[in-house]
Amino acid sequence: MSKKNNGTKYILFSGIILFVGVLLISYVVRAQPYAPPEPYKELDERIKLFLDETVSNPTSSTAFDTILTTGSLAGNSNLIESSISEMKTKLDDIKTRFGGFKEYEKIDAKPIGKDLVIIRYLLKCELYPVVWTFTFYRRPNSNSSVALTTAAQWQTIGLRFDTNLDILILK
């Protein structure tokens, strides 16, 4: 009879240890907030450098050099220079109309397939916000089994800003 009691005690003890272990694991899992992976973290860093420079010096070409990497819109240097000049003029106008640039925050990132992504940020001015839309394209890799993940492999193919906040509702 004592062997039976020892077996029962062992099973009961094992059950209690297992139960306490499950409780501890569930507590640890719940105590750590879930942080979803950021697949476009390197692109966000490039955008933040651009916006930091834009906030500190809206007429600087350095900001545009940061976001427009080598190969972006290749072969269209005259078009790019003209567009950058036009954007600087419009940024100056926005700063005059809505006050200085204060801060920014990410709104969303929307992948379209695996090689195109649209990332939007809200640039907050003193009087009114401005929506920035960055479009990045990654050339398909000839070796489809290897995924391209670095920011340098993404080209900026679109850059625009808008004060029409309705675009936030429509997308």
Q: What is the pLDDT along the chain (171 residues), one digit of tens a residue?
A: 455 666 677 777 777 887 776 666 766 656 555 455 567 888 999 999 989 988 888 767 777 777 876 555 555 666 677 777 888 888 888 888 998 888 999 999 999 988 899 999 999 999 999 999 999 998 887 444 344 456 678 889 988 988 888 877 765
Whether 85 and 67 map to the same domain: the answer is: yes
What are the residues facing 136 on neighbouring strands? 117, 156
Same domain? 47 vs 94: yes
Whether 67 and 83 map to the same domain: the answer is yes
90 and 137 fall within a common domain = yes
* 29 and 86 share one domain: no
How many other C-beta atoms lie within 10 A of the C-beta of residue 29?
A: 9
Task: Give residue 19's domain range.
Answer: 1-35
C-beta of residue 159 within 8 angstroms of C-beta of residue 134 = yes
Say yes or no: 64 and 146 in one domain: yes
Answering whether pTM is above 0.85, one says: no
What is the Cα–Cα distance from 147 to 144, expressed in whole angstroms?
Answer: 7
Same domain, yes or no: 132 and 61: yes
pLDDT value for 142: 46
Q: Rounded to a whole number, what is the largest CA-CA distance in the chain?
A: 95
| Domain identity same for 86 and 18 | no
Task: Find the CATH number of the domain harbouring 137.
Answer: 3.10.450.50
Structural contact between residues 133 and 118, judged by C-beta atoms closer than 8 angstroms: yes
